[in-house]
Amino acid sequence: MSHLTIVPLSSALGAQISGVDISQPLNVEQRDAIEQALLKHQVLFFRDQPIEPQQQARFAAYFGDLHIHPIYPNVPEQPEVLILDTAVTDVRDNAIWHTDVTFLPTPAMGAVLSAKLLPEFGGDTLWASGIAAYEALSSPMKTLLEGLTATHDFTRSFPLERYGNTPQALAQWEEARRKNPPLSHPVIRTHPVSGRRSLFVNEGFTSKINELSETESEVILKFLFAHTTRPEFTIRWRWQKDDIAFWDNRVTQHHAVDDYRPARRVMQRATVLGDVPFFR
Q: Which residues pair with 150 in a beta bridge?
A: 185, 209
The single residue of 67, 98, 156, 189 carrying the catalytic annotation is: 98
Contact partners, residue 107, CB within 8 Å, separation at least 6: 99, 100, 101, 185, 249, 250, 274, 277
Active site residue 100: yes
Q: Does 152 participate in catalysis according to the annotation?
A: no
* 258 given a catalytic annotation: no
Instruction: Give CA–CA dist 48/241, Å, rounded.
Output: 7
**CA 265 to chain centroid:** 18
Catalytic residue among 58, 254, 255, 265: 254
Q: Say if CB 220 and CB 209 are below 8 A apart.
A: yes
Is beta strand 15-18 parallel, antiparallel or unpaired with respect to 43-46? parallel
CA distances from 34 to 29, 46, 140 (A): 9, 11, 36
Tell me if the bond preceding 262 is cis, omega within 30° of 0.
yes
Cα distances (Å, whole numbers) of residue 66 to 42, 52, 111, 154, 274: 19, 16, 9, 19, 9
One-character DSSP codes across 36-64: HHHHHHSEEEESS----HHHHHHHHHTTS
Which of 93, 100, 153, 243 is labelled catalytic? 100
Residues carrying an active site annotation: 98, 100, 254, 269
